[in-house]
Amino acid sequence: MTGSDLIVLLKKQPVGVACGVISVLCGVTLYLGSDSIEVAKAKAEEVQKQNQVMLTNVRNSAGLSLAQQTAAMQQAAKQLESRLVKANQLATNLQYFYRLESDTGVKLTDVRQNQVGRAAGAGLYIGIPYSVTFQGSFKQVMEFLQRLEGGKHFSKYSTVSFNKAAGAETSAGLLSVSLNIELLGTP
């Protein structure tokens, strides 16, 4: 096939030759662009996931605007901050236990803030450990523990031990309680 034969073929079948050339160009473009199709599919899937997350957030927003949600989060953060114990405010921290003593009628025999151990990589908040020993009737002891658990500060009991109060001056039915507790706080 020579050049003159191609020209004759082009003149006889211009539509067929044009379709053939376009088909070859489309095939080359498809072959060279196949990688970009996979990239575009991955991008579309990522956008679809993000859209799904946004739709879930909107569905779970309970009809509140973003400003209202922000205000609610700021209020919750302020409330959390007001319930934290500061490790370096020993007198204020111990006053919490003395207030519970006067409210419940137990007798505190020992209250100590223990050494704060901060683990490497610990977060913003830490547990401030305390050792507390007190005496009282069963009702007083239970009230003290309930107020401590549901009180102003977030707490976690490490150990709690109950014993019958010893000593000649103590009346029958008194309990002696020793507990190790951590209050959520900041260093």
Q: What is the pLDDT of residues 79-114, one digit of tens each?
A: 888 888 888 888 888 898 899 999 998 999 999 988
Mean pLDDT, the chain, whole residue set: 84
- Contact yes or no for 183/131 (Cβ under 8 A): no
Q: What is the pTM of this model?
A: 0.59
End-to-end CA distance of the chain: 90
Residue 133 pairs with which residues in a beta bridge? 110, 178
Which pLDDT tens digit goes with each residue over 9-63? 778 888 888 898 899 999 888 888 777 878 888 999 999 999 999 888 777 766 7
Element (H, E) at 142: helix 138-149
Cβ atoms of residues 105 and 145 within 8 Å = no
